[in-house]
Every structure is written in C-alpha cells, then in structure tokens.
C-alpha cells in the first residue's frame, strides 16, 4: 500500500516518514514537488500515486503573516484538505489531517472537547476550521487530529527560538497568560502510525473516523515553557547567557501581535484515549526527548 505524506520537511511530516515506513510505501512530498495552494497540482499528484492513505501535515502556519495573506492561507489550509478529501473519496483512501487549537476562541475555563463549538479569532484559525469542515464534507473516511504547540527536533519551533535567544541575550521576556501543552512531533507521528495500522488491520467499514483532540498531557504557559527549555539546556552543559530566572513574564497585552492567540489552548483528549486505547504522555516527557535530539 502507498501512503502519501505532504509537507515532508515540516516538523510532523519529517517524523511521519519514519513512523509510517513499516506500514507501506511512503511517498513524501515537499512544497517544491506539490504546491498545496494549487488544487490542480494536488489532484494530479494523488491520481499519479493512487495512495491507500493520505496524511496531510502540511499547512500555512505563519499565523501573523496570514492576517495579510488570506488568499494563500485559505488555499492551503481550507481548499487543499477539500481536494485531498475528494481525491481520497474517489480512491476509497483514509485521509488523516491535522488541525489546531486555534479553531477555538480560547476563552473557555477548562480544556476544549471535540463537542465545543469552534470560534476562531484569526485568519489562520478560520482557514484551519474551514479545512476541517471541507474535508469532513468531502469524505467520510477521515481523521482530523487537532493538536497544539507542536515541537520537534526537525524544523523551526518555539523551543529552538528560545535556545537561540538565550544564547544571545542575558534576559528574555515571554508571554505567561496563554496556556497549553507542548506536543512532540514524534508523538503525533507515532500515534498516527498506530491509527493507520488499526485501520489496516480492522478495515475501513467499522473504523471510528472523525475529529479527535491529540495533545500531550499536562499544561504550561509560554513563560514556563521557555524556563523549562533553558533549564534543560543548562543542565546538559549548553553555554547560554540567560538562565531560567532571567526570563520575565509578559501579558498578552504587553506583546501585541497581528493575529490574536488563544489564551486557553488546552485540549481534552479523553475521547481519543478512550476510543483508541492509547496513552498521551506528559508534555515534559516528549519535550525532553526533543531537546536531547536538538542538543
């Protein structure tokens, strides 16, 4: 069986090539090989490969840039999932797609469940939500995995940015009133492989398709996240100018950005764990593994 993976150079796409390798012939493509803003290119790619599984981690993730580049953001995040869904339906393929906590407004007190009504507050969030809806309408054989704060050893992310800044500056300031769970790209890839394997084993007729929240357990904020990363680096002997105590907390109002970020990015993963019988480790566990690879 062929497994098509988009965004092969992204954090999750990179790890998926490893995790899915034992399950079939993985055909991974980058932007240069298929521009997801080009619907015709997507159709041509899928029809040429004829995969049994389509996994789509690729996305327009420049959250602030999207505010001024709505056309591209919606083409990649909303239209591309629809096209992949339509082509997947034609082939009878499973389509796995990743979405985000940004589909919610971030004002809920507790963790967001799949039953909570999306209310995105940014172009990025709206485009990702439209992608969810479009994919679900295009094919019943879909898995939409909403996640948050992805971090991996490959590609750019918050942890790498904090390590770079801590190596350049003696003091840092980081937002402390936005909460979520850093989620390892490797964990997402491994979980995806488990779901694909179950689909292969059980067949598609009784498989529990749908939308699931998938994020590491526990919670933190960006400020404590930065302090943790710097502390781990110093413990590993990395020469940094800043220490955890030199990271000052900021409010969101003190750090304005073009796109509005959710104050609450916590996702309730009960449905996922109960449905598939899988455990989601604590965010520190996954992050330590990522940092060990980065170091």
The reply to whether 124 belongs to the active site is: yes
State the 10-residue block means of pLDDT for the chain, 295 residues long: 96 97 97 92 96 97 95 98 98 97 96 97 98 98 98 94 96 96 97 97 90 98 98 95 96 93 97 96 96 92
Taken in order of first residue, the domains within the chain and their CATH numbers are: 2-156+183-216+267-281 (3.40.50.720)
Q: pLDDT tens digits for 97-123?
A: 999 999 999 999 999 999 999 999 999
**Distance, CA of 276 to chain centre:** 19
Q: What pLDDT score does 2 carry?
A: 97
Q: What pLDDT score does 204 carry?
A: 78
Closest CA to 267 of 142, 113, 161, 80: 113
Q: How far is CA 100 from CA 38, 51, 103, 158, 259, in A?
A: 22, 25, 6, 16, 15
Calpha distance 66→104 (Å, rounded):
17
Q: What pLDDT score does 32 carry?
A: 87
One of 60, 98, 124, 225 is an active-site residue; which one?
124
Q: What pLDDT score does 203 carry?
A: 81
Pairing of strands 179-180, 2-5: unpaired
- Give the DSSP per-residue string, 28-96: E--TTT--TT-HHHHHHHHHHH--SEEEE------HHHHTT-HHHHHIIIIIHHHHHHHHHHHHT-EEE
């Amino acid at each position: 069986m062929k497994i098509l993976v988009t965004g092969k150079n992204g954090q999750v796409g990179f790890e998926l090539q490893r995790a899915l390798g034992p399950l079939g012939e993985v055909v991974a493509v980058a932007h240069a090989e298929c521009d997801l803003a080009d619907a015709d290119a997507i159709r041509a790619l899928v029809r040429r490969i004829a995969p049994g599984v389509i996994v789509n981690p690729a996305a327009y993730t420049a959250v602030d840039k999207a505010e001024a580049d709505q056309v591209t953001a919606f083409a990649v995040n909303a239209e591309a999932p629809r096209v992949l869904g339509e082509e997947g339906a034609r082939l009878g393929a499973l389509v796995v797609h990743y979405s985000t906590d940004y589909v919610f407004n971030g004002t809920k007190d507790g963790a967001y469940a799949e039953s909570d009504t999306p209310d995105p507050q940014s172009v990025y969030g709206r485009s990702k939500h439209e992608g969810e809806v479009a994919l679900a309408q295009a094919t019943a054989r879909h898995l939409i995995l909403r996640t948050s704060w992805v971090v991996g050893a490959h590609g750019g992310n918050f942890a790498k940015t904090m390590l770079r800044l801590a190596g350049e500056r003696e003091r840092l300031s980081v937002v402390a009133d936005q909460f979520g769970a850093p989620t390892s790209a490797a964990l997402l890839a491994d979980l995806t492989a488990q779901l694909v394997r179950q689909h292969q084993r059980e067949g598609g007729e009784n498989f529990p398709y749908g939308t699931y929240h998938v994020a590491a357990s526990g919670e933190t904020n960006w400020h404590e996240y930065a302090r943790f990363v710097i502390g781990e680096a110093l413990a590993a002997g990395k020469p940094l100018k800043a220490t955890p105590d030199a990271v000052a907390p900021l409010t969101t109002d003190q750090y304005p950005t073009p796109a509005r970020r959710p104050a609450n990015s916590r996702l309730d993963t009960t449905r996922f764990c109960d449905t598939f019988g899988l455990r989601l480790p604590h965010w520190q566990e996954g992050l330590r593994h990522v940092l060990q690879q980065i170091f």
